[in-house]
């Protein structure tokens, strides 16, 4: 498997409209092929319902598909599972629980929006999207239904849902990081700590580089102690040298395989097609013994 991957453009973290991406699973696969990607991972939020559609398109396009999921845990730390068995009972039970919590959270969110004068039909909202619904989807809905004067979902999100926004709501009671890691392992997958540099917002004055370094270190240690096996070291909007270099040092310190991905949602965010080149000291995740393509027997 690792020999097959050498020299190919590989992108292991992407989203479809089964969570908060813009395009269907088959459309995302075609876009990946057109961008030169030949090993492609689909990892929707708390959702694996797009994997089979993506696989059918990948077979036609000549792309090797990696089945993934991105599980939400407290503080919105995302644990990605690569090469999972999407029919594994412990996985499906956890995702069912996550999405029940997400629906309850979204219903409460609609009530909170009504308090500030935005009245959303919850049933219509949930029926508008193909998969899981999050605050960004709600922002899209508000724009599409012309419920606000703003025309960008990003601006709506910033005004209503970002820190200091008009709607204040506690986070949903997501599963713990340990539960996410254990479930991915039970499903035969590889637990990956996603985009560690994105959890500690550098725009906040208290998050100096030294503070971010300490928090990223603590999070990676906790992930490793929970049984985590890999982490993203490249991709997902790295903004400066620190964000590009420190994850590599963390992966080396904690003995984690290195993964990469665009975290693609739509073209106007981060486009597909980047060729990620790891530090030569790292071991790519496709050299992990459990790394496999969806539908393959190997």
* Cβ atoms within 10 Å of 30's Cβ, excluding its own: 17
Give the residue carrying structure tokens 């992930």: 223
Residue 201's pLDDT is 85
Residue 89's pLDDT is 98
Residue 74's pLDDT is 95
Q: What is the pLDDT along the chain (298 residues), one digit of tens a residue?
A: 677 888 899 999 999 999 989 999 999 999 999 999 999 999 999 999 999 999 999 999 999 999 999 999 999 999 999 999 999 999 999 999 999 999 999 999 999 999 999 999 999 999 998 788 888 899 999 999 999 999 999 899 999 998 789 998 888 899 999 999 999 999 999 999 999 999 998 888 899 999 999 999 999 999 999 999 999 999 988 989 999 999 999 999 999 999 999 999 998 888 899 999 999 999 999 999 999 999 875 4
Residue 283's pLDDT is 97
| 64-73 sheet: strands from edge to edge | 9-11, 37-42, 64-73, 77-82, 190-193, 230-235, 257-261
Residue 24's pLDDT is 96
DSSP per residue over 121-151, as a string?
-HHHHHHHSSS---HHHHHHHHHHTT-SS--
Global pTM?
0.93
Residue 298's pLDDT is 46
């Amino acid at each position: 498997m690792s020999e097959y991957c050498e020299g190919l453009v590989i992108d292991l973290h992407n989203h479809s409209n089964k969570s908060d991406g813009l395009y269907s699973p088959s459309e995302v696969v075609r876009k990946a092929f057109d961008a030169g990607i030949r090993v492609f991972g689909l990892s929707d939020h708390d959702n694996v319902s797009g994997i089979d559609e993506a696989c059918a398109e990948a077979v036609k396009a000549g792309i090797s598909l990696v089945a993934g999921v991105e599980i939400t845990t407290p503080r919105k730390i995302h644990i990605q599972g690569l090469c999972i068995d999407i029919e594994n009972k412990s996985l499906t039970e956890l995702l069912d629980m996550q999405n029940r919590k997400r629906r309850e959270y979204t219903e409460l969110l609609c009530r909170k929006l009504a308090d500030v004068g935005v009245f959303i039909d919850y049933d219509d909202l949930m029926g508008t999207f193909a998969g899981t619904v999050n605050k960004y989807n709600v922002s899209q809905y508000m724009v599409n239904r012309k419920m606000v004067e703003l025309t960008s979902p990003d601006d709506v999100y910033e005004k209503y849902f970002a820190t200091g926004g008009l709607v204040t709501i506690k986070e949903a009671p997501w599963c713990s990081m340990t539960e996410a890691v254990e479930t991915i392992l039970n499903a035969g997958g590889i637990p990956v700590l996603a985009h560690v540099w994105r959890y500690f917002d550098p725009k906040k004055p208290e998050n100096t580089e030294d503070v971010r370094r300490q928090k990223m270190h603590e999070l990676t240690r906790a992930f490793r102690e929970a049984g985590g096996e890999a982490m993203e070291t490249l991709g997902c909007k790295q903004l400066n040298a620190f964000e590009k270099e420190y994850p590599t040092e963390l992966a080396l310190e904690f003995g984690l395989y290195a993964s990469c991905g665009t975290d693609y949602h739509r073209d106007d965010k981060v486009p597909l097609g980047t060729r990620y080149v790891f530090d030569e000291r790292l071991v790519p995740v496709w050299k992990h013994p459990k790394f496999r393509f969806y539908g393959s027997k190997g």
